[in-house]
A and B are shown apart, each in its own frame.
Chain A
Amino acid sequence: MILTGVLLAVLGLGLVGWFAARGRARLLYTGRGSMHSMPAYHGWHLALWIVVPALVAWLVWQAVMPGLVQGAVFATPAAHGLPTDPFQLGAIVAEAQTIASDPGAVAFNPEAQALVEPFRAAQVKFGLIGAVIVLIVAFAGGAFGFTRIRPNFKARTHVERLVLGVLLAASLLAILTTFGIVASLVFEAGMFFKDVSPIAFLTGTHWSPASTMGDNINNNFGAVPLFWGTIYIGAIIAMVVAIPLGLMSAIYLTQYATRDVRKWVKPLLEILAGIPTVVYGYFAALTVAPLIRDFAASLGMANPSTESALAAGLVMGVMIIPFVSSMADDALAAVPRAMSDGSLALGATRSETIKKVLLPAALPGIVAGVMLAISRAIGETMIVVMAAGAAANLSANPFASMTTVTYQIVQMLTGDQEFNSPKTLSAFALGLVLFIVTLILNIVALRVVKRFREAYE
């Protein structure tokens, strides 16, 4: 409470400092060229000197205060006779702490109730100390900054240097995220591979992580059926739908449609890409899957399952159409007009020009687009969770229920999970495989696209 107020006070001080420094700088300003920086920059400079160190002090205090408070509470007489078992002690302290900050709550544990008052007192005391420290730092920073206001002081340079530092930090967040992904996946997957051999995981064909049967745990974590399901649904069925439809749509829109048609149809197609995957999943489960099951039954299949690779793959393919179409659109647009002019001038029809000249010329771009589409399809989760099924089947029958890597990740990490059991950790191992595969697809595809663009520039 007190500390929040202090934060506002510091910001207020910063504002005051801004005006004060600008006013002071204005007094020093005697005319054109008399100062290095405009008065406003002196304002910013001082404001930063007030706010930034105080903010740092505030953060440090936020971090150390709970320890100090707890120490003080344990030193009071009320804390005598508390249980020594760390688990019980922790529960009591936590409860007391909650009540101390929330006047409405009632204690369940009398020992906790006894601690509430000492807690409140300690919090107020250390809060006040913290506030004073933060304010002192703010004033000290301000005073130092204020003394630097001189005509030849390069306030602007200092402020801009800080701005640049902030910009740089923001860009590094991307690297940090990548690093975080790699580190957490590798770490958790490493724990998994302590129990299960990587070879067995990557080459085994039996997947039943829940089963406790058999003494060799390696036999239960063969992920090949998962990889197959992922490839079959995402890279085969979905692409059989998405490539022809997406490519032909792009061809029609770029080569045949009038400008008005293009203007309306393109955004409509893009809506397909904007629909959340959970909606597709629901649609697949509610409408498409039963249709496919009935179709399978009419083909004479016994007991076709509602969940099928075909239902998930079909719907996923539709979701990918606009993606393929916009990549193909870009690739076709990158082929210089002179190319098709040359063919048309020889008396080729449009379709001959497209098939024999444009598509071959655009091929690298289109292939890269398909790679990105596959990367997106195999990482897609909700559609397969809702329509593909949990059975780890190693089958080429599109009407069979099939499971995927993403499905199993969800399966392993929702519901009752035992922390750090091989079952839970296997999700991270699967995630690692998925990350590596999509990373390779993405990087290769982006390279190809870049080369392709440069070739025609």
Chain B
Amino acid sequence: MTEAKITARNVDVFYGQKKAINDVSIDIDNGIVTAFIGPSGCGKSTFLRTLNRMNDTIAGARVDGQILLDGEDIYASTMDSVALRARVGMVFQKPNPFPKSIYENIAYGPRIHGLASAKSDMDRIVENALTKAGLWEEVKDRLTDAGTALSGGQQQRLCIARAIAVSPEVILMDEPCSALDPIATARIEELIDELKESFAIVIVTHSMQQAARVSQRTAFFHLGSMVEYGETDQIFTNPRETRTKDYITGRYG
């Protein structure tokens, strides 16, 4: 087995005095989908956001422990959070397209990072990203329309395309389907399955079925700790911990 893409060791996260994550260690591999599950408020989002230092943007948030991306400490002073976030992209719970055109939504990231030198490069990046996100056919004739004018599911795929456009290595998704209807959800799940060929994907979800459908590994969080981590099949069919079993059988939520 090759070295893990992301290695977290003894991670604690504090919001002011309050400890939200307690001593979490986990290895996340390339080429598969890793799911985080657990009851509301257990710290899934918090932990996810430590992986691309989005917690830096919250006043009073502090991270202890070590997180390595390809063996590099992402909290080291030499690590540039701007470059890091280009390598570790993120998709949010609610679709949040910028109030700009569809084209500009995708082009925004490549432009700030200087990934395209000519207009034709940019056009190609945009087309590529939209194609990978399975949105190209639907929007290719109206790239100048506002991104906010799309349907909820399309908006979320736009946000995924936006993340893809800067060629990240990892994509973090925080409940990407919770604001969508079942059909749009199915589209996104298909998409995630295709994307895992090119990216390491971490997804937070409240839906047990979704975790079972799209992920190969699952981590169960409870009260800020990671209770169990393993192959998704094993977690759902034969959990080692009783707390995990109680949760996936719906004994508590």
Contacts and interface: CB of A to CB of B under 8 A. Distances in A.
Given A258-B59, A339-B98, A360-B99, A345 B112 contact: no
A361 B105 CA distance: 13
Given A356-B108, A360-B100, A344 B85 contact: yes
A276 interface: no
Interface in A336-372: 336, 338-349, 352, 356-357, 360-361
A346 B162 contact: yes
B166 interface: yes
21 contacts: A259-B59, A336-B96, A340-B57, A341-B54, A341-B92, A342-B96, A342-B97, A342-B98, A344-B57, A345-B52, A345-B54, A345-B90, A345-B163, A346-B89, A347-B85, A347-B109, A348-B112, A356-B108, A356-B112, A360-B100, A361-B99
B74 interface: no
Contacts of B84: 347
A126 B87 CA distance: 95
Contacts of A340: 57
B60 to A, nearest CB: 9
Contacts of B96: 336, 338-339, 341-342
B80 to A, nearest CB: 9
B183 interface: no
A110 to B, nearest CB: 85
Nearest to A258: B59
Contacts of B112: 346-349, 352, 356
Which are the 5 A-B pairs with shortest beta-carbon distances? A347-B86, A347-B85, A345-B90, A338-B96, A346-B109
Given A259-B59, A349-B82, A343 B98 contact: yes
Contacts of B213: none
Contact of A345 (B83, B89, B94): B89
B113 interface: yes
B159 interface: yes
A367 to B, nearest CB: 15
Contact of A346 (B99, B100, B163): B163
A341 B99 CA distance: 14
A346 B166 contact: yes
Contact of B94 (A259, A338, A348, A349): A338
Nearest to A336: B96
Interface of B: 52, 54, 57, 59, 82-86, 89-90, 92, 94, 96-100, 108-109, 112-113, 159, 162-163, 166
Pick the most buried of B57, B85, B97, B98: most chain A CB atoms within 10 A of its CB. B98
B84 to A, nearest CB: 7
Contacts of B97: 342
A340 to B, nearest CB: 8
Contacts of B89: 345-346
B94 A346 contact: no
B115 to A, nearest CB: 11
Interface in A10-36: none
Nearest to B172: A345
B57 A341 contact: yes
Contacts of A352: 112
Contacts of A339: 96, 98-99
Contact of A342 (B82, B83, B86, B159): B159
A352 B109 CA distance: 11
> Which residue, A259, A338, A340, A347, has most C-beta atoms of chain B within 10 A?
A347
A264 to B, nearest CB: 16
Nearest to A345: B90
Contacts of B98: 339, 342-343, 357, 361
Contacts of B83: 347
B82 A348 contact: yes
Given A339-B96, A346-B85, A347-B113, 16 more contacts: A338-B94, A341-B92, A342-B96, A342-B159, A342-B162, A344-B54, A345-B52, A345-B85, A345-B92, A346-B162, A347-B82, A347-B86, A347-B109, A347-B166, A348-B82, A348-B112
A253 to B, nearest CB: 13
Contacts of B163: 345-346
A312 B108 CA distance: 43
A345 B162 CA distance: 10
Contacts of A258: 59
Nearest to B84: A347
Contacts of A349: 82, 112
A347 B82 CA distance: 4
User: Which of B89, B90, B99, B162 gathers most chain A CB within 10 Å?
Assistant: B99
A340 B98 CA distance: 9
B108 A343 contact: yes
Interface in A357-390: 357, 360-361
A344 B172 CA distance: 14
A346 B86 contact: yes
A259 B16 CA distance: 13
A348 B109 CA distance: 7
Contacts of B159: 342
A183 to B, nearest CB: 44
A341 B58 CA distance: 10
Contacts of B100: 360
B106 to A, nearest CB: 10
Contacts of B52: 345
Nearest to B98: A357
A358 to B, nearest CB: 10
Contacts of A344: 54, 57, 85
A357 B111 CA distance: 13
A320 B96 CA distance: 34
